[in-house]
Amino acid sequence: MTPNGEYVANSHDVGERISWTLRPVISTKLNLVVYEDGYKEDYPDTRELPAVGDTIDTSEKVVEDEKLVSKTVSRKVASIVTWEERRRVMKGACLNCHNDTYVDNFYKQFDDLVVLYNEKFAKPAKAMMDELIADGVLNQDAPFEHEVQWVYWELWHHEGRRARHGASMMGPDYTHWHGMYEVSKHYYEKFLPAVIKAAEAKSGAMGRKWQQKVDEHLSREEHQWLKGLSPEEAERLRRMYQQRYNE
């Protein structure tokens, strides 16, 4: 029992209580589909859920002739565990040691960090990469041909994951200095310039099109801080630090 009188997390299947995936380019919440034979499958919340009782073609990796192949297996849906339910059960584990305000505050910070990473950096970066493929600037089958592809890969797979995992594991140094600091530094200083460079390598007209797209992107509100603070904002910030450190 916890101070709140709950005891909900009594399984050792830790994956059952995971509400976000921090693995892909863009994080999504994860629902869980459980089949009658005990097989389980994560469903990103962007994928439509089946109904209980539906028969679904699932794909399973098996070894045949020493090769890993995908096999289709028909399975009947026994139950669905939504991401909200998975989180409720995880909170049950936390509540064995912490009170609910503490745990809710943790999840508020964690969610906000993932949403910030998703909305400000990952979604626009992915949209640009997809459009560069559609424009014939990048070749989908040559994922490391251009500098921009290396930079993009590291943006989500290295610093982008460190930031998200850092937040989930309560590691401020990883969340910020090895995480979001590098995500934003590399986004502005490496990724966007490399987007333009790749487009220019295709043609002058393509380069001009992408220079304009990047300029428009940077004029969005969330990127204005790069251009500096207004005198009022700068003064407010100075006063806050004077008070905080009694300087």
Interface residue list for ligand HEC (CB under 6 A): 90, 93-94, 96-98, 103, 106, 170
CA-based R_g, the chain, Å: 23
CB-wise, 29 or 146, nearer to ligand HEC? 29
CB-wise, 16 or 147, nearer to ligand HEC? 16
Spell 121-133 as b/e; 16+ CB within 10 A means b: bbebbbebbeebe
Q: Show the tokens assigned to 102.
A: 């503490």
List C-alpha distances in Å: 15 to 97, 162, 228.
20, 19, 43
Closest contact distance (angstroms) between CB of 142 and ligand HEC is 41
Closest contact distance (angstroms) between CB of 10 and ligand HEC is 13
DSSP classification of residue 138: S
CA distance 247 to 244: 8
Closest contact distance (angstroms) between CB of 103 and ligand HEC is 5
Q: Show the tokens assigned to 169.
A: 């594991």
Beta bridge partners of 43: 31
CB-wise, 96 or 211, nearer to ligand HEC? 96
Spell 21-40 as b/e; 16+ CB within 10 A means b: bbeebbbbbbbbbbbeeeee
Counting every residue written for the chain, the total comes to 247
Closest contact distance (angstroms) between CB of 56 and ligand HEC is 31
Q: Which residue is nearest to ligand HEC (CB)?
A: 94
Closest contact distance (angstroms) between CB of 166 and ligand HEC is 11
Cβ neighbourhood burial of 170 (10 Å; 0-12, 13-18, 19+): exposed
The structure tokens 């600037």 sit at 137
CB-wise, 133 or 170, nearer to ligand HEC? 170
Closest contact distance (angstroms) between CB of 2 and ligand HEC is 9
CB-wise, 6 or 154, nearer to ligand HEC? 6
CB-wise, 170 or 240, nearer to ligand HEC? 170
CB-wise, 176 or 209, nearer to ligand HEC? 176
